[in-house]
Amino acid sequence: MQSTPSAPPQPLTRVLVIGREFPALVLLLLLAVVLTLGSPAFRSPGNLLAVGFDTSVIGIMACGEAVVLIVGGIDLSIASILVLSAGGTALALVAGWPLPLALAAGLFLGATAGLLNGLLVSMLRLPPIVVTLATLGLYRAALTLMTNAQEIGPLAPPFTSMGFGLFPLAVLLLVTVGLSTFMTRSAPGRRLYALGGNEEACRVSGVPVRRLKPLAYGISGVCASVAGFLLAASSGAMQSKAALGYELDVIAACVIGGVSIRGGQGSIVGAVLGAMLLRLLNNALLLFNIPVDWYRMVIAGVLLLAAIGDRLAQRKAEAA
């Protein structure tokens, strides 16, 4: 997937004021004000913590998905990687493994699953949508077979304590800051932007394209693992049917936050803003007793409009 060369990443203050993320920021603030003034239930501590948790899970996944989109790919298997890695950690905990070792095993599973996606895309030059659509079913089926479709649990503290209070939001903040800094301040991060802007130009100039793409997918896998830990901790168990449909929410969050599906443009912060906006919208529908099907319609419409908009922008760039 090629496009015109991407602009270098901008400082956070400039991004939020004039960048692709600005519309998401404005809509987020407006929706937050409307909900604060129009619904006392929204302001309740329990509801705010629930919204914060949902935002953390989707937002952390969106951070990883944004990296893949920036390099011009897509990861439809991200929710299945979440299930596989969190399920592996849950199995290890039930078997009596120490918590640090169980978490390390989950991170290893997530990173390996992501790297496998990236290697298939970069080494064999397979379409990312085909590869990750296949592994979407493969990774979830793997956990189903390992567990005979049974729930893994119950999981005990201190693991379960990670899914409550402000801890998930703290993890989201840490992932956002860390990955945003990596993408904008490090040489590999800037090369990932350049790769999404013009892959052929990167290849001609000696950029190790076949190593960078697996790196992007590996980062996505690690982010899915971290989100999976939070999801398993909050429920005290894990099963292969968890997180169904999350991949659409995650991709929509990235697109709403200004990450281009053509690659080379967007930011980690924008993806998180998109996740916050989507979770607030979902919460608003629940509070005002509006059918949740409207939420799915919004996501579908956003993805379709983004595809149309990016295509028009590509034609404009090619004509210029």
pLDDT tens, residue order, the chain (320 aa): 444 444 455 555 555 545 788 889 999 999 999 999 989 999 999 999 999 999 999 999 999 999 999 999 999 999 999 999 999 999 999 999 999 999 999 999 999 999 999 999 999 999 999 999 999 999 999 999 999 989 999 999 999 999 999 999 999 999 999 999 999 999 999 999 999 888 888 888 888 888 889 999 999 999 999 999 999 999 999 999 999 999 999 999 999 999 988 888 999 999 999 999 999 999 999 998 888 888 888 888 888 887 787 777 777 767 76
Domains and CATH numbers, the chain: 12-319 (1.10.3470)
Q: In angstroms, rounded to a whole number, what is the distance separating the alpha carbons of residues 228 and 168?
A: 11
Q: What are the CA-CA distances from residue 73 to residues 41, 114, 187, 281 (Å)?
A: 40, 12, 20, 27
Global pTM reads 0.91
